Every structure is written in C-alpha cells, then in structure tokens.
Amino acid sequence: MEVKNLLVTGGCGFIGSNFVRYILSREDFSGRVINVDKLTYAGNPENLAGIEEAFPGRYVFLRVDICDAEAMEKIFSEFEIDAVCHFAAESHVDRSIKRPESFIQTNIVGTFNLLEAAKKAGDSFKLFHHISTDEVYGSLGPTGFFTEETPYRPNSPYSASKAASDHLVRAYHETYGLPTTISNCSNNYGPYQFPEKLIPLMILNALEGRPLPVYGDGKNVRDWLYVVDHCEAIWTIMKEGRRGDTYNVGGNCERENITIVELICDLLDEKFPCGTSRRSLITFVPDRPGHDRRYAIDFSKIRRELGWSPRESFESGLKKTINWYVENRAWTERVRSGEYQAWIKEHYG
C-alpha cells in the first residue's frame, strides 16, 4: 500500500506521537504525515520535538478538533488525504466516569466526521485504520482470552464510546465499501505517556518518595504492550491486513497491578538505592466504579495471518520505560506542572 498523505489524528498524544516517529523512520513509507490534534490535556507538541527538522517537508501539524466536520473535510481536500490512522480519543476511564460527555463527542461524533470525510474522498482513498481497545469486550474471569469474536460488553463510559466508534467503522465498510481495518489493543506503556497512567505515575512517585496508590486489592489483571511494538503492529495491519477485518494486538504480558508496582519499586531500588524498599510506599485506595477485573488478549490472528509478534518482554520494555522517564525529567516536569499548556497557548492561541 503506497500512501502519499497519511492523516494521523491525535498524533501529539502518547501512542500517536510514538507512531508518527515510527512511521516517518520507516524505509517502506515515503509519504507525508498530516498530524491533526486538538491538544487537550494529554496532547503535547513537545512529544514530537525535532520531527519537522528530521523529516523536512514530510510532517505537517494542524491544531484541529475532529468534532469540527467542516474543518476535517477541508483538510481531506487540501492535503489530498489518501489514508487515515485514527488515534484521537478521550481515553482515561476515571475521567469518563466524572465527565462522560466529552467522550461521547470525541470518540463517537469525531469518528463519524472522519468517516464521512473519508467516504467523500472517493476512489482515491485507500484505508481508514481505527485504533481501539480491549476494554470494549468488558471483563474476563480468571481464565480465557478476548478474541476478535468476543461479544462487546463495555463497562465504562470510555469503553462504551470506543465500542460505538468501532461499530461505526465496521458499518461504513459494510454499507459504503470504505476500506477499513480496526485494531483492539491491550494496555500500552512506554515513552511520552501522560503521568496520570499507572506505570509512569508509579515510576515518578517512587523516584520522589511519594505514595504509590493502588486501587482495591491490586489484583486487577491487564495485558501489557510496549508502545513501539504496538506501532509496528498498526503499520503491519495497514499494509497487509484484510479490509473490513479486526485484529487484536496484545503483548502476551498478563500482570496484576500490584505485581507491576512491586516490580517498578524493585527496579528503581536496584538502579537508585534510597536506603529502604520503595514497596513501603504502596498505598491501597478504594476501588473505582466499574473497574474491570481482568483483560487478556489472544493475538493469534495477527500472528498467524500477518506474522506480527511483540519484540519486548514486559521486563525489557519496563526497563526501557524507566530509563526514558529518568532521562527525560524536564519533559515530565513540564507535563506535570502544566507548563506545556502555557506553551501551547502562546504558540497556538
């Protein structure tokens, strides 16, 4: 698949910015990336510092809300968009519980606007790839795995909004023949992740001797995927996946939350001894509403059909992640203090 003008939505976020860096460095992609991002709290242009200089003429950033249908149609026309990789979403479960309305607008209405613009682009349009989550499947018991055939049973406003957007993408393929693919991934971790998420929060709090808050009994299980492995899976699906199909993307790294927190403590104690075990900072807090007990992804379809498997083990990926946060404390401090928002306001209004 030769793509000349790839629209990446949410490209200043965690996974999106990693994908932009990944795709522009690929030898099998010579096109241009048009990054559209609203720059909400988790969107940070500093995640892509140096990209324009490293890839002259191949990167464009536009501060646009995907909920603005007119603006999206104009971008499709002006930049002759021939493929979309759609990351843009409100994605934090806790925030969706407190303020679900923004999740409905961005995740459902925004996706609808993009699909409409892609449909109007006509025969020159090659692919709409939609990034989703394993949370649309609900919660698992102590055994079993989510497959592409697992019925949807979302349990939070966030996962319900993502389920709705998945269904829209599938419907546009079935009804209008729009070339689409969908990937449902497990929990990502790695560089540039907003510090409210579990792994970066625990790394930074542990480094600073702050409490490490763990929901409930800490035995909720997630399957973890290093973000660069995820980027490779996305590009593999975009190039080789069957149009109209869904692919589950997992890391084969099931871990209880408490096990992850303890491992982070142990790795930091080894790298930066502080005289006492950082496990003493672990603090159990009341569980959040609708907290799914276990997710686990069966990614045998993408492995069997497209030859993709994750390269990183959880331990190797976590070590890389810890090293990145240690080496990029200036980025971390600007994000946590909100200073980056002042920079955005100064440059983008």
- Looking at 34-135, list the stretches that DSSP marks H as alpha helix, in order from N- to C-terminal side: 51-54, 69-78, 93-98, 101-103, 111-120
For residue 281, give the 3-state DSSP assignment: helix
**Domains of the chain, earliest start first:** 5-189+226-251+294-311 (3.40.50.720)
Say whether 266 sits in a helix, a strand or coil.
Answer: helix
Task: Output 303 or 142, whichever has higher pLDDT.
Answer: 303
Q: Which pLDDT tens digit goes with each residue over 280-333?
A: 999 999 998 878 888 899 999 999 999 999 999 999 999 999 999 999 999 999
Alpha-carbon distance of 82 to 228, in angstroms, equals: 24
Binned at pLDDT 50, 70 and 90, residue 349 comes out as: low
pLDDT of 27 reads: 96
Q: Which whole number is the average pLDDT over 193-215?
A: 95
Catalytic residue annotation:
134-135, 158
Distance CA 332, CA 318 (A): 17
pLDDT classification of 345: cutoffs 50, 70, 90: confident
Q: Is a pLDDT exceeding 80 seen at residue 98?
A: yes
Q: φ and ψ at 3, to 5 degrees? A: -110, 125
- Report the C-alpha gap between 212 and 204 in whole angstroms: 10
Burial of 276 per CB tally in 10 Å (0-12, 13-18, 19+): exposed
- Rg of the chain over CA atoms, in angstroms? 20
Nearest CA to 261 among 279, 275, 276, 274? Answer: 279
Distance CA 254, CA 219 (A): 11
Average pLDDT over residues 92-112: 90
User: Which of 134-143, 241-250, 298-307, 324-333 is predicted with the least confidence, judged by mean pLDDT?
Assistant: 134-143
Instruction: Tell me the mean pLDDT in the region 264-273.
Output: 96
Range in 20-24, 91-95, 292-296, 328-332 the model is least confident about? 91-95
pLDDT in tens, 148-196: 999 999 999 999 999 999 999 999 999 999 999 999 999 999 999 998 8
**How far from 127 is each of 87, 104, 243, 334, CA to CA, in Å?**
14, 24, 8, 36
As given in the structure block, the two tokens for residue 59 are: 């990167």
DSSP 291: -
The whole-number average pLDDT for the span 222-250 is 97
Secondary structure of residue 283 in the 3-state scheme: strand
